[in-house]
Structure 1
Amino acid sequence: MGHKINPGSLRLPITRAWTSKWFSSKKDFAQKLFQDITIRDTITKQYGSNSGIADVIIERNPQEITLTIHTSKPGILIGRGGKGITDIKAILSKITSSKLRLNVVEIKKPDLRAKIVASQIGQQITRRISYRRAAKQSAERVMQAGAKGVKITIGGRLQGADIARTETLSLGTIPTSSLKRDIEYAQVHAPTTYGIIGVKVWIHKGSLEIQDDSPIASRPLL
């Protein structure tokens, strides 16, 4: 099962946290969920795939919406004199009428964030750099940053081949079935002249203590 579903959703709320933190009535749930998706898409499009954004955490209360953006390049998001924050608030105000609060958190080790690694590989593939070279260099950087293991899967019409195929590069261990393992997963799409190339990245960072309020906290660790 660990190979068939998203490693993040499999570990909710055992060792992973939700990226949307709010409660809603059944009547308003779909509207707020769609709003969250639109906010994340807008932020990604506004700053581009080179902004180093790994997560956008959305928290809601009756008075305001708090957005916490985790990025490896906070300077790009904040801008000179905070102009970047002002601009994105103006754009997001067209999506929601709620008061917005933005927090930017710098990622100290971007090579251990699956979303950033996958985006970097996708950008190189779009620029026609060899996918094998891009994957190998990224995997080596991930291991040098202290990861226990990394797996990169690239699929599509690789190098313009007539028949689509999938290739995988793996270093270290990726125990996808063990729920106490801290495994981060991300996937991106890289547009090329031959079509879309899919990039998937798994990063194993080691073991985590299972939270006290998790459903299996009282059971033996796997």
Structure 2
Amino acid sequence: MGQKVHPLGFRLGITKKHKSQWFAKTGKYPQLVLEDYFVRKLLMKKFLDAGIESIKIERTLNQIKVEIYAARANIFIGRDKKNLDQLRELLEKKLQIYRARNFNVLNVSNFANSQIQSKLACSTAIFKKNSEFYLEASKSSRVQNKNKTLEIAQSINSPKISIHIIKLLNPDTKAGFVADSLVERLEKRGSFRQAMKTAIRRCQRANVKGIKIQVSGRLNGAEIARTEWIREGRVPLQTLRANIDYSHKTAKTIYGILGVKIWIFNGEINT
């Protein structure tokens, strides 16, 4: 069987960029990856009708920048334009609760201090009061260390988020938006073949170079699961300079879960 490579991961650093752009040390990296997943899952679940294509996250020292690419940006902004401020406050509150449950800064800092002491110590004699190597910390230094630790904990547990909404000018050229519309039709018990042809016609009107759609599962309620796919135009998956947009979604039907995969070819990028 052929071994498949993710089309976006295959082109990272060539024609594609990471959806999360930040730098972190080894100890904090897994926590921040899970935070990005938590933020994306929260936004996708809350704004199902907004047609979100992708969410990009950038981090600085004390701020998180969230860029939301959506087909219907008015759902985020609203008429009085106060929805964006309410969304920012909601994200900050949810993220603060998430960090309080899953990440204890005080424990991490205490662990780091003990690790530093163990590395600097030539023996365990520095912890014994009767030993000549005993290191006694003054009260002022203890207070300073405690205050510094509390400041770090407060800054980490109270994140500052800035939200930017970017409206997609031509959403039918984005695989994420097309996949969401196809999933919506399948969940309404529509014919999968008709839904695939409708999605291809919409993409052809948007002047894409090529598109491939694949649906897997119990199609139309069949007892035996199978895979059906359809393609129009060119979809060169092995060409690195090809601008391939890829998305995979799941449709929850009464017969089970259907897997939807979409590849869209938007021309070549000459770097």
For 1:148 and 1:55, the matched residues in 2 are separated by: 21
Contact 1:55 1:69 in 2 (8 A): yes
Give the counterpart letter for 2:220 in structure 1. Answer: Q
**Alpha carbon RMSD of aligned pairs, Å?**
1.4
Q: Secondary structure at the match of 2:53?
A: strand
Q: CA deviation at 1:51?
A: 1.3
The answer for the alignment partner of 2:169 in structure 1 is: 108
For 1:156 and 1:84, the matched residues in 2 are separated by: 39
Q: Secondary structure at the match of 2:223?
A: coil
Q: Secondary structure at the match of 2:80?
A: helix
Correspondence list, 1:148-167, <5 A = 148-167=209-228
Q: CA deviation at 1:86?
A: 2.5
Contact 1:114 1:201 in 2 (8 A): yes
For 1:185 and 1:87, the matched residues in 2 are separated by: 32
Q: CA deviation at 1:3?
A: 6.8
The answer for the alignment partner of 1:87 in structure 2 is: 86
Give the counterpart letter for 1:52 in structure 2. Answer: G
Residue-by-residue CA offset, 1:151-210 (whole Å, 9 max, x unaligned) = 000010001100000100100010000000000000100100001111100000000022
For 1:45 and 1:173, the matched residues in 2 are separated by: 33
Residue-by-residue CA offset, 1:31-68 (whole Å, 9 max, x unaligned) = 000000000000001111x2110010100000210000
Contact 1:3 1:176 in 2 (8 A): no
Correspondence list, 1:30-49, <5 A = 30-48=30-48
Q: Secondary structure at the match of 1:45?
A: helix
Q: CA deviation at 1:84?
A: 2.7
For 2:3 and 2:206, the matched residues in 1 are separated by: 25
Contact 1:189 1:197 in 2 (8 A): yes
Question: Which structure is higher in strand share?
Answer: 1
Q: CA deviation at 1:91?
A: 2.5
Asked if 1:15 is matched to 2:76, the reply is no
Correspondence list, 1:46-125, <5 A = 46-48=46-48, 50-93=49-92, 94-96=94-96, 97-125=158-186
Larger Rg: 2
Give the counterpart letter for 1:110 in structure 2. Answer: P
Deviates more, 1:91-100 or 1:52-61: 91-100
Give the counterpart letter for 1:28 in structure 2. Answer: K
Q: CA deviation at 1:80?
A: 2.4
Identity of aligned residues (%): 35
Give the TM-score normalised by the residue count of structure 2. Answer: 0.75
Contact 2:209 2:234 in 1 (8 A): yes
Contact 1:43 1:88 in 2 (8 A): no
Q: CA deviation at 1:4?
A: 0.5
Contact 2:95 2:159 in 1 (8 A): no
For 2:83 and 2:247, the matched residues in 1 are separated by: 26
Asked if 1:183 is matched to 2:244, the reply is yes
- How many equivalent pairs are there? 209
For 1:60 and 1:3, the matched residues in 2 are separated by: 34
Give the TM-score normalised by the residue count of structure 1. Answer: 0.91
Q: 1:115 to 1:3 in 2, by over 3 A?
A: farther
Correspondence list, 1:124-143, <5 A = 124-143=185-204
For 2:266 and 2:253, the matched residues in 1 are separated by: 31
Q: Secondary structure at the match of 2:164?
A: strand
